[in-house]
Amino acid sequence: MTGAALPLLVAFILAAVTAGLVRRAGILDHPNARSNHAAPTPRGGGLGIVTGFLAALWLIPIAAPSEGAALAGVAICTVLAAALGFLDDLFTLGERLKFLVLTLISLALAGMAGPVTELGIALPWMIGWLGSALFVFTLANAVNFMDGADGLMAAALIPAALALAWLAPGSIGLGALALALALAGFSIWNAPLLSARGTLFSGDAGSLGAAVIFAGLALAWASTAPSGSVWLVPLLVLPLLGDVLLTMAARVRAGRSPFVAHRAHSYQLLIAMGHSHRRVALIWGGMSLGCGALALLARALPPVAWPLSFGLAVIAFSLLHYRWRRQARSRGLDVYQ
């Protein structure tokens, strides 16, 4: 077995086995007013994603010391983020504490895996560091908010990780492949493949852990890639970021607090309109595939095409988001709930 195949196989198998063990552990997610499930369902399965990825990372050959340092930073911050999420799954931590800890993790990851200081123009190191940390923080919260439909998180992140693996050379690319395989292993239990619903939720441990892994790998690539490549990073995860940011903006315009728990994300509105969890996951998977393909196409074009591609994708997703919200409103749903 080649050096590249072994860590990928380990990521898939260990993620599937660990998630299955967590499923039997009896850590339950009880339904509440914001839930998309009616019966208590095991959660915490995202620990499989984290353990599968970290085990694979241990086996990935490191080509350069700089890559090793970046991957070590990703591993450390992944453990911290997953621990924060798992404690929240068990005990429901306070919002201020989670905000503070996640902010510190984001700042640490931005410094160890990045920072990105080139947007086509050079940025001061401090601005690049803070901007990179903001990306980590925003993506972690976006994935956490969007992890409410079976299979959606994996459907969106697997294509993004595969596209990043294509873009990134060496061990960073292998790390992205390992993330995709770990997500696939977890999906055996989480995705509505053979039934209408999955049987295991990721929990905050998985959503925060997976988001930090992707963000760290993306920063590690973008910080050493040609100037302006960073524009392709948010493009890869636009279906996740776009829904959260546009929903928050709509709530602010309507005079609602963006920080109060709600059921106004477009994926939640689609489910409320009768779409199955499988269909919603396939929609987000298709959008993620499209964004990944656009990023790969743009990468082959002159650098001026990179921000333009991101801008076009933002416009397209915004139109979709508006259309879904209009459909929900026409059916009498509260789109700011």
| CA–CA dist 74, 251 (Å, integer) | 33
- pLDDT averaged over 10-residue windows placed end to end, the chain, 337 residues: 80 97 77 57 90 97 90 98 94 92 98 93 95 98 92 98 96 97 97 87 95 98 95 98 95 84 90 95 98 98 96 98 96 88
How far is C-alpha 126 from the geometric centre of its chain's CA atoms?
25
- What is the pLDDT at residue 173? 96
Q: Enter the pTM of the model.
A: 0.95
**Contact at 8 Å (CB) between 168 and 236?**
no
Q: Interhelix angle for 203-222 vs 170-190, to 10°?
A: 160
| CA–CA dist 49, 54 (Å, integer) | 9
- What is the pLDDT at residue 129? 98
- What is the pLDDT at residue 41? 72
| CA–CA dist 169, 56 (Å, integer) | 17
In 147-231, which ranges are continuous DSSP H helix? 152-167, 170-190, 203-222
- What is the pLDDT at residue 28? 63
* CB-based burial label for 308 (10 Å; 0-12, 13-18, 19+): middle
Tokens encoding 204 = 């905050």
Q: Which of 251, 218, 271, 274 is nearest to 337 (CA)?
A: 251
- What is the pLDDT at residue 2? 52
- What is the pLDDT at residue 63? 80
